């Protein structure tokens, strides 16, 4: 993310690995199923070949863990003193950003499992964007993220007031009448 002049990062993060536990469990079940299939095939062929069955399971599990890691590290959430930014994707990139002026509400949601895992989602309602979802999904400590957004919004508003006050004081001179 390229920063604008005067812009600084207040928060930057990724989805938590804990938010992907369901993904990892499904992948482990898939690897177990592939290993069971390998055991069945080798049994039909003349006896279960344990090293092949174990290799199929380990490779399936490794693919699952690697895929989850790539999904996690290729998604970046950023809060600056001017805007919110989401970037995701390894090959095909998707970027979303919104200025603080457009943020109307900030909501957190945590399912019972997410509360146990200490992760949650932070949803941002933005003006005029019914067609697009703006969400920091699966973040560690969603309350900390909301606090960072609140702090950045207050800094942005204070900066806007200073800018507006400065523009009023050094505005164009009158015609002297």
pLDDT digit string, tens, across residues 25-65: 999 999 999 999 999 999 988 888 899 999 999 999 999 99
Mean pLDDT value across residues 10-15: 92
The yes-or-no verdict on residue 77 having pLDDT over 60 is yes
- Residue 107, strand partner residues: 123
pLDDT given for residue 29 in this prediction? 97
pTM of the model: 0.79
The yes-or-no verdict on residue 89 having pLDDT over 50 is yes
Mean pLDDT value across residues 134-161: 89
Output the furthest CA–CA distance in the chain (Å, rounded): 106
pLDDT given for residue 172 in this prediction? 52
86-101: string of b/e by CB count within 10 Å (b at 16+)? bebeeeeeeebebebe
103-124: string of b/e by CB count within 10 Å (b at 16+)? beebebeeeeebeebebbbbeb
pLDDT given for residue 174 in this prediction? 45
pLDDT given for residue 76 in this prediction? 95
**Total residues found in the chain within this entry:** 177
The yes-or-no verdict on residue 147 having pLDDT over 50 is yes
Q: How far, in Å, CA of 120 to CA of 156, rounded?
A: 25
* Residue 174 CB partners (closer than 8 Å, separation 6+): none
Comparing 16-30, 111-125, 155-169, the range with the smallest average pLDDT is 155-169
In whole numbers, what is the pLDDT of the chain averaged over residues? Answer: 87
Dihedral sign, Cα of residue 23, residue 27, residue 28, residue 29 = positive
Residues 120, 7, 94, 31, Cα dihedral to 10°: -40
pLDDT given for residue 154 in this prediction? 87
The yes-or-no verdict on residue 175 having pLDDT over 60 is no
The yes-or-no verdict on residue 170 having pLDDT over 90 is no
């Amino acid at each position: 993310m390229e920063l604008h002049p005067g812009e600084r990062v207040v928060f930057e993060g990724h989805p938590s690995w804990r938010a992907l536990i369901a993904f990892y469990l499904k992948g482990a079940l898939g690897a177990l199923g592939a290993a069971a299939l390998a055991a069945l095939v080798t049994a039909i062929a003349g006896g279960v070949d344990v090293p092949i069955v174990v290799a199929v399971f380990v490779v399936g599990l490794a693919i699952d863990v690697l895929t989850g890691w790539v999904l996690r590290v290729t998604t970046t959430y950023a809060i600056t003193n001017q805007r919110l930014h989401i970037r995701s994707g390894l090959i095909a990139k998707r970027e979303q950003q919104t200025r603080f002026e457009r943020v109307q509400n900030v909501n957190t949601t945590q399912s019972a499992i997410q509360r146990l895992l200490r992760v949650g989602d932070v949803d941002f309602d933005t003006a005029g964007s019914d067609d697009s979802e703006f969400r920091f999904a699966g973040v560690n400590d969603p309350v900390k993220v909301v606090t960072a957004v609140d702090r950045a919004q207050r800094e942005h508003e204070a900066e806007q007031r200073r800018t507006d006050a400065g523009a009023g004081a050094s505005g164009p001179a009158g015609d002297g009448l």
